[in-house]
Structure 1
């Protein structure tokens, strides 16, 4: 069939069924669909297409996967790669929403038509600001795991390639577009990447040779003062997949409710954040963000659009809430329970080694703090702190901030008085800057600065340290010694004192069981210079994974780590990120996505695949192939 016939058939069929799709949407059992969710691809639409178009856009079936060992997703340059006519057909079907991706920093390179020295300067200045990466259809917050293929530079003659960024992205404005893209990728056997904001530490939103689905602009928010579901009656909020933390918090402030969302301002709440569990400044009081979810609207790997609740697809309801983003489907919205307006005290302070504080005194102060973790978390608070080396035998502690939800200033001072008294007895003087806010939003906005992102010379790793480490004096000492050893070896400690227990009456989900026992979510990182060779970078990564974080695993062998802020090389990631839930999640992966359309590094089932990275590092710049 000639290209003009393809174009005509698609336009006639899709335009003729626009009203039909809106009139016969997948019914939501719990709340009205957003307008963009009412525009859906239907069997009637597919039936009106010719054979060639049906082969591109037809729905799939959840049958046994036929991909063989060693075979790869189709890659640009392969003879099976979709033709120009096929991509044009997709573009027309998407009503112009298909974007041919260009690296964000391409303006810095003369080899790209987008070269513009002034634009390059602007991008370079903003490179560590998460807003510009979230607002780009392909860019991710951590370019190391894309493949560092096009970084800002002052050498305009150097090399820039698309690398691990998706080749095309769909700027989604309705469900039909997601369905068309999912069906096209599955039927063409090309890689699919899903991007909301690109916050994941391991680059899950990238993928060389991929078609990207970009949900960032699905910004609808609707508040239900009297929501009624199968087992919950009360206030709730429905969030489009692209809503970010600052946006829902601002909405909550205006309407007088409190939502459980991320600490970071630009994190996409209804994306990989909530799907991976989602710890929050509210977690010690209300649990994980995933615990709050009452319903989800989802496009599955077969292209079908479904409502997922406790009673409708209950197995998916369990899996989606904590089992990982980009794994079981593409979420277009969630409904979450919310809470009344709540006051919070925010406090910051620091202490360091110096003339009056010896190294041993400093570490005694840190050890004193650890002993108060159970009491502080059980009081519903959330603390974000740093311990780091500042020179030879010199260290600093930064409380930035202590976030005391549901505490007046007086109640906060009473809570921390025992610890402050111990610091005083050690001769450590602190000057806390503490302020009470009568609402969560103002406290959060003042307490947490905009996150710095996009370093290509560092790698992070994390651990969820369990309460049991505080219930055994010898084990607590070993835990402290492991943390001290990390910092004295030159690796920073960024940590959260928090808990994330499943609250009474809430429906169990697939969030990492280690979260339910944790009292500290700790993060560290390793780094190198821009001139370090790939071989030496890999050696540094391995040392960090095996030796530095190995000390943390040794004192918490049955615990785990938070998958969204983790070491991509985490040994036995199935246990570390999913714990006892992994086998059930794997079985559900085979049921709902047997062809592994939804691949994500360290995701469920990812152990059966490998990215043939061009630089030998664990990034997404290479073919995705069966092992």
Structure 2
């Protein structure tokens, strides 16, 4: 009877199947805009339309008559080169597309695999945005023709949010304006509310932002990556934004003074604590590609400081010895956090490394904090452990960053991450269990919470409240060779899921960092956003009435199918 009543209601309301939301238009559909319609869009833009190709396409004669990709080998793992290509992702597995039957559409740089170069999940056409008007024109076009839209800055994304098969892309990478203002007043704020601040366009990367701040004798809370290639005013801050300076000054979102954004309605808003405070709250940690297209961010800056650092590395042939050392290191992190240290580390069954720093620190403070751990490690040398310790002092944080935090390789391999925010209590009471879960696989950790991060009101921004109880953000991952089958990849994903479950069981009330996490988290709404999710969803619905901005496991994505192209109505 209830079903009949519901059907009668549909009929009496004159509703038909056409009333229900349809699927977004993607390339190849009959509804895809015509060449003429794209030409009309192009006439409104400052730049020609772009036609992105996968990063390996240069190796194929159809895209390069010489078919010579020797130069590509030299740049393949360069994050800044990848950011400069509208179709390249940091992890090229997100350039591929897996069909339900297990076949994979991809463009591998290794031509000896004998696989044709396909478009995969790389958007087929888009806008090279250089200003707000370009973005507004792109958004209005996407709404008018109901096309699948994605937003891409640098493509440094472990959830594949910068790509979608057959989509239309807004590429913000070339919005490079940087403005420093020692007495910045947010729009709508009283004149006495001033900040020593720097405003970054959406395409500015951290190496550019740090250099600009350093030129003013200032520092700012920002990310660490090879070459500083991660975007400073995009997904990094929209997801929360962690930094080696976070324990001193807070997360990236805690240092945002103002943002500007284009909504799906085409409106251009300036948001801060005085104007549209609900949207300002949501965009500080509620996830990128969700509420609108970010066009600029204004951050607080701080006076430049010297840095005392401790570099430590260890190697062991016996996994049990490394387990013992790692357990002790995890155990002492609460004390290190209280003493003002932060930084990054990595470990496996046979090796361990960390680079920890303390702004305005001294050698005496370094010795006080690390002496007992070094003695602990020295006592294991009789069991085959070898260690190297190195104290480092730099006159400025910028010098420390440039020397120790911006080197290495920025991916270029098929990678998926899992992560967990590890609370103080777990480190104090369950460091052994934590090590047992993690050490059999290669892992990294970001010692970027605690300190100031833990002292800020969890409800002051939309970022996951689990950050406020954490000290460490752990990451672990899987990788596979180019040309691997869907079955092989699924086997690796099962390993990732098992580690995620073990960490959830150990830290059931914690969560994960949305920007460096897995597509396979259970209850992702809570895992990534915690108790803030209902409020974030309401704000999303308010400011994106067209439902234009949809990303994997982003706020509101549960309303869409697995490809994020068709709305669910049941």
**Common fold by TM > 0.5:** yes
Q: 1:380 aligns with which of 340, 354, 368?
A: 340
Matched, 1:448 2:448: no
Residue 324 of structure 1 aligns with which residue?
287
Cα distance 1:318–1:68, how it changes in 2: closer, same or farther (>3 A)?
Answer: farther
Cα distance 1:68–1:626, how it changes in 2: closer, same or farther (>3 A)?
Answer: farther
* Unaligned stretches of 5+ residues in structure 2: 1-16, 98-105
Deviation at 1:359, TM superposition (A): 3.9
Deviation at 1:454, TM superposition (A): 4.4
Moved more, 201-210 or 151-160: 151-160
Matched, 1:271 2:227: no
Find the aligned partners of 1:179 and 1:626 in 2 and give their Cα distance. 24
The number of aligned residues is 533
Q: 1:159 aligns with which of 96, 111, 116?
A: 116
Contact between 2:54 and 2:95, CA under 8 Å: does it hold in 1? no
Find the aligned partners of 2:19 and 2:460 in 1 and give their Cα distance. 36
Cα distance 1:155–1:360, how it changes in 2: closer, same or farther (>3 A)?
Answer: closer
Matched, 1:117 2:67: yes
Residue 352 of structure 2 aligns with which residue?
397
Residue 464 of structure 2 aligns with which residue?
512
Task: Render the CA deviation track for 1:336-392: whole Å, top value 9, x for unaligned.
Answer: 1111111112332211224xxx54333222111112101212233213111113xxx
Matched, 1:371 2:331: yes
Find the aligned partners of 2:396 and 2:495 in 1 and give their Cα distance. 44
Find the aligned partners of 1:510 and 1:602 in 2 and give their Cα distance. 16
Cα distance 1:418–1:228, how it changes in 2: closer, same or farther (>3 A)?
Answer: farther
Contact between 2:437 and 2:503, CA under 8 Å: does it hold in 1? no
SS at match of 1:587: helix
Deviation at 1:282, TM superposition (A): 0.4
Find the aligned partners of 1:67 and 1:250 in 2 and give their Cα distance. 54
Residue 363 of structure 2 aligns with which residue?
409
Deviation at 1:507, TM superposition (A): 8.4
Find the aligned partners of 1:550 and 1:210 in 2 and give their Cα distance. 33
Contact between 2:244 and 2:447, CA under 8 Å: does it hold in 1? no
Cα distance 1:507–1:459, how it changes in 2: closer, same or farther (>3 A)?
Answer: closer
Residue 242 of structure 1 aligns with which residue?
203
SS at match of 1:88: helix
Task: Render the CA deviation track for 1:250-291: whole Å, top value 9, x for unaligned.
Answer: 112111011111011111111000010000010111110011
Contact between 2:454 and 2:467, CA under 8 Å: does it hold in 1? no
Find the aligned partners of 1:228 and 1:129 in 2 and give their Cα distance. 38
Find the aligned partners of 1:141 and 1:331 in 2 and give their Cα distance. 20
Find the aligned partners of 1:431 and 1:580 in 2 and give their Cα distance. 43
Matched, 1:262 2:234: no
SS at match of 1:568: coil
Deviation at 1:153, TM superposition (A): 1.8
Residue 391 of structure 2 aligns with which residue?
434
Residue 436 of structure 2 aligns with which residue?
484
Deviation at 1:549, TM superposition (A): 1.8
Contact between 1:74 and 1:80, CA under 8 Å: does it hold in 2? yes
Cα distance 1:240–1:75, how it changes in 2: closer, same or farther (>3 A)?
Answer: same
Contact between 1:291 and 1:507, CA under 8 Å: does it hold in 2? no
Q: 1:195 aligns with which of 137, 152, 170?
A: 152
Deviation at 1:467, TM superposition (A): 1.4
Q: 2:417 aligns with which of 460, 464, 474?
A: 460
RMSD: 2.2
Cα distance 1:372–1:502, how it changes in 2: closer, same or farther (>3 A)?
Answer: closer
Task: Render the CA deviation track for 1:33-75: whole Å, top value 9, x for unaligned.
Answer: xxxxxxxxxxxxxxxxxxxxxxxxxxxxxxxxx9976832112
Deviation at 1:156, TM superposition (A): 8.8
Contact between 2:480 and 2:489, CA under 8 Å: does it hold in 1? yes
Contact between 2:46 and 2:130, CA under 8 Å: does it hold in 1? no
Find the aligned partners of 1:320 and 1:402 in 2 and give their Cα distance. 30
Q: What TM-score, normalized to structure 1?
A: 0.81
Contact between 1:130 and 1:141, CA under 8 Å: does it hold in 2? yes
Deviation at 1:439, TM superposition (A): 1.0
Task: Render the CA deviation track for 1:400-427: whole Å, top value 9, x for unaligned.
Answer: x222233133322322123223223444
Find the aligned partners of 1:485 and 1:306 in 2 and give their Cα distance. 46
Moved more, 215-224 or 310-319: 215-224
Residue 103 of structure 2 aligns with which residue?
none
Q: 1:626 aligns with which of 559, 567, 570?
A: 567
Find the aligned partners of 2:34 and 2:292 in 1 and give their Cα distance. 26
Cα distance 1:379–1:69, how it changes in 2: closer, same or farther (>3 A)?
Answer: farther
Contact between 2:511 and 2:527, CA under 8 Å: does it hold in 1? yes
Moved more, 250-259 or 228-237: 228-237
Contact between 1:242 and 1:271, CA under 8 Å: does it hold in 2? yes
Find the aligned partners of 2:533 and 2:459 in 1 and give their Cα distance. 18
* Unaligned stretches of 5+ residues in structure 1: 1-65, 390-394, 613-622
Task: Render the CA deviation track for 1:569-612: whole Å, top value 9, x for unaligned.
Answer: 11111011000000000111111113220111111011121344
Cα distance 1:542–1:128, how it changes in 2: closer, same or farther (>3 A)?
Answer: same
Cα distance 1:268–1:113, how it changes in 2: closer, same or farther (>3 A)?
Answer: closer
SS at match of 1:262: coil
Residue 17 of structure 1 aligns with which residue?
none
Cα distance 1:507–1:465, how it changes in 2: closer, same or farther (>3 A)?
Answer: closer
Q: 1:496 aligns with which of 446, 457, 473?
A: 446
